[in-house]
Amino acid sequence: MGRTGAWFAYEESGIVPDLVTLAKGLGGGIPIGACVAIGAAGTLLQPGNHGTTFGGNAVATAAALAVVATIESDDLLAHVTTIGDQLRRGLVDHPLVAEVTGRGLLVGVVLHQPLAAEAQKAAMAAGLILNNATPDRLRLAPPLVLTETEAAHAVTVLRGVLDEVSS
């Protein structure tokens, strides 16, 4: 929720889903899940048709409402777009980088060589958490509140890591 710079990633695709599921991003660390049905799909589940572990949990619901309010009041969707652009610009011209993909703070870094696992280990040792999604792709999914300074530091660290693993 919000990670791509829109409330939901589908919004920029031109596709209108029948169903949207929410979990981690909705709770801000508190376990919660939600299912949002649109149009005719919205009438399929009626009271008593569905059970849930966390249904009716007041604490989880309060956390979800606080997350939604914070994303809105702090204009985090625009912030996510700005910081994501900063990350992409800082990585796109590295010699090991073939392409930087994604939107907002869901960033894929495609490498010219299958060095993602080595880069992930070196990044972790340098204090930067990222995933080696495939042998030649790194995935960055930092928190929505990542600052410009933190993003600049992450770019510096990752560029150093990429230099290290490509030498």
Domain assignments of the chain as residue spans, ordered by start: 9-73, 76-166
Find all residues with CB under 8 Å of 69, minimum gap 6, and list them: none
pLDDT of residue 55: 65
**Predicted local confidence at residue 140, as pLDDT:** 98
Task: Tell me the pLDDT tens digit for each residue of 26-79.
Answer: 998 898 888 889 888 988 888 777 777 766 688 989 999 999 999 999 999 999
Contact 8, 20 (CB under 8 A): yes
The pLDDT score that the predictor gives to residue 78 is 98
If you count them, how many residues does the chain have? 167
Q: Identify the CATH homologous superfamily for domain 76-166.
A: Aspartate Aminotransferase, domain 1 (3.90.1150.10)
Other CB atoms within 10 Å distance of the CB of residue 13: 10
User: What does pLDDT average to over the chain?
Assistant: 93
- Mean of pLDDT values over 136-159: 98
pLDDT at 149: 98
Rg over CA atoms, the chain: 19
Query: How confident is the model over 72-125, as pLDDT tens digits?
Result: 999 999 999 999 999 999 999 999 999 999 999 999 999 999 999 999 999 999
How do residues 10-24 score in pLDDT, each as one tens digit? 998 888 899 998 888
